[in-house]
Amino acid sequence: MTWRPVPGPVVCLGETMAALAPDPPNPLLDAARLRLSVAGAESNVAMYLADHGIPVAWLSALGDDPLGHRVRATVAAAGVDVSHVRTDPGRPTGLLVKDPGPAGTRVQYYRRGSAASALGPEALDGEPLRTAALLHLTGITPALSESCRRLVTRALTAEPGARPYAVSFDVNHRAALWPDGSASTVLRDLADLADIAFVGLDEAQALWGENLTPADVRAQLPGPRVLVVKDGANAATAFSDEDEGVHCVPAPRTTVVEPVGAGDAFAAGFLAGLLRGSTMTYALRLGHITAASALRVTGDHGPLPDRREQEALLALSLREWEEWAR
């Protein structure tokens, strides 16, 4: 029988920044207008989990500034509990600026010394983690500061009996955040300690070997009870230490407006499927459906199909899904 996290509330912990992006999505050099939104891997996951009806809290820190107030209000408006987000009067809210181009979207970050970079292991104490079923983290957080790395390390190294929640970890490699070249070792070690781990095949190849297959990635990360390897627009493969085999579900063909945020959306859909107690195939399909919602918009958070359409897609036979995905 496949292991599942216990159903219950989820906590997503990590930095969210204000985001500026050209609107329409032209290169920044030629942009006449910028649109203000918010962007953060962990809050993206939280907002999509809320869309799926999963009770979820976002845990972080923001500056006591207009951008911080905007971030808090936006995440709360999506149905996420933000009551435990700390306001730091001495540090600013981080900012990113997107620069779309023919080769993809480049992102400029202005986050050094931000409020969230001062988070530390003490963030794991108290509510809302005392009642959480699952804590979701990413590889972005340990790159922000030494205290943030200690936070993530403590969450992942605690004995399972010492914490009431499972831990989900998305590698989410951001090369610019790892100038010392330590990303390969640090991210592999952290991901291997998680109960559930996510990694893009392109990320894994950049970190651990350019010719890796999904099965090779599993060999690199044998520790997680569930490992999901995402191969972009092609497919996603889930490995479990306790089930009947390996599950691979092709991704549906989708018109891409902007790819940023799709990996977070996929993680949220997959986690929602697991928390519902569904099969791996169901969870992978829900991940793809959720990711498509992010791909179709310029921001990181797009509207899901209505529940009836979701259920119709999730009920397709394998052959019907493959035909629809093409």
Residue ranges of domains in the chain:
10-325
pLDDT of 122: 94
Contacts made by residues 101-105, CB under 8 angstroms, sequence distance 24+: 101/27, 104/259, 105/25, 105/258, 105/259, 105/260
pTM of the model: 0.92
Mean local confidence (pLDDT), 275-297: 83
pLDDT reported for residue 179: 87
Which residues on neighbouring strands pair with residue 57, listed in sequence order?
11, 81
Whether domain 10-325 has CATH 3.40.1190.20: yes
pLDDT digits (tens, 9 = 90+) for 152-201: 999 999 876 677 899 999 999 988 889 888 999 999 999 999 999 999 99
Tens digit of pLDDT for each residue in 67-93? 999 999 999 999 999 999 999 999 999
Note the pLDDT of residue 297: 59
What residues act catalytically?
Answer: 264
Q: What is the number of other CB atoms lying within 10 angstroms of the CB of residue 163?
A: 16
Burial class (CB in 10 A: 0-12, 13-18, 19+), 245: exposed
